[in-house]
Amino acid sequence: MFGMLGHGSEDMQLEPREVEAGRFGGDRVVQAAAGHAHTAAVTAEGQLYTWGWGFYGQLGQGADASMLVPTLLRGAGLEGAPVLMVACGKAHTLAVTRAGALYACGCGQCGQLGLNDRVSRNVFERVRLPVLSDARIVTASAGYCHSAAVTEDGALFTWGSGQDYDGRPTGLGHGDLTERLRPTLVAPDSMDGARIGRCRALAREHALAFAMVTHPRLGRAQAQAQAGAGAGGARRSQRLQDKAAKAAGGGGGDECVFGGLADHLVEMVVKACREWPEGAAGKAVIRVCDAHN
């Protein structure tokens, strides 16, 4: 129905069938998303294809018509920016560019587009975060009538309806069922201060690097602090960390709590972080490297 399988017809397929590679211009598909009756895919070159049901404009092609085959989005509303990932809801679509910008199109009746109204769009329009407006978005998700996005620093934003179309409560993580027409930050306290991010398996040495730049109480400075905890308590512990940071060229406090690490441990961290992503964690690694150069 509506051609969301991308095979050029509305026929049902009872077994998996590959969508012809030629429909994507010979480029390799690296990510795909399926909505209620529409589908989208991103290629290795960052091109976005959409197909299927388009009644609410969720295909982003500038019309409300359905499409039976993957159709290239030719920069409509995305300003030609390469796409990182795409998410499909019931009748709306979200796209995140490699530069970290978020775009939305489709049904907006519940505010799920995040554009501060209830108007539907048939072309992608950029969604702005009211808080941390310059934050780089790394992933997004589209639900039945709500949406969510995560920034590179682990902040979670949600918007849309706190109930589904049948009136059943779903919530947006803000402690109420209030509709949000714009992305709204979910209070970190409601998640015990946890940061949200993409999950991936880490090699052992990478796991060490991750721990060193995300946990403020790891390293030799902390071991020294624990050894003297009986004599100085918490104040002594903090002084030792400050001393280690200053010795490494930092300004004390949280500037560089890894300054007291043994050289071979620092070398392991640096080698494991040669391709560390941008963001707060990457900046922490840079501080460690600078302190030991």
Looking at beta carbons, which pairs linking 203-211 to residues 24 or more positions away fall under 8 Å?
Answer: 203/272, 205/268, 205/271, 205/272, 206/272, 206/273, 208/268, 208/269, 208/272, 209/268, 209/269, 209/272, 209/273, 209/276, 209/285, 210/281
- From the list 162, 41, 175, the residue with the least C-alpha distance to 111 is 162
Tokens of 264: 């071979």
Q: What is the pLDDT of residue 238?
A: 52
Tokens of 157: 């934003």
pLDDT in tens, 194-250: 666 654 555 655 565 656 555 544 444 444 444 454 545 445 545 544 554 444 444
pTM for the model stands at: 0.67
Q: Report the chain's C-alpha Rg in angstroms.
A: 24
Fold of the 21-191 domain = Methylamine Dehydrogenase; Chain H (2.130.10)
How does DSSP classify residue 21?
A: G
Tell me the mean pLDDT in the region 16-24.
Answer: 89
Mean pLDDT computed over 22-40: 93
Q: Inform me whether the pLDDT recorded for 109 exceeds 90.
A: yes
3-state secondary structure (DSSP) of residue 96: strand
Q: For residue 113, is pLDDT > 80?
A: yes
The pLDDT tens digits of the residues spanning 54-85 come to 999 999 999 999 999 999 998 666 878 899 99
Strands (E), the chain: 29-34, 38-43, 48-52, 67-72, 83-88, 92-97, 102-106, 121-127, 137-142, 146-151, 156-160, 180-185
Domain residue spans of the chain: 21-191, 204-292
Ranges 27-36, 197-206, 269-278, most confident: 27-36
Position 252 pLDDT exceeds 70? no
The pLDDT of residue 79 is: 76
- CA gap 113, 108 in Å, rounded: 5
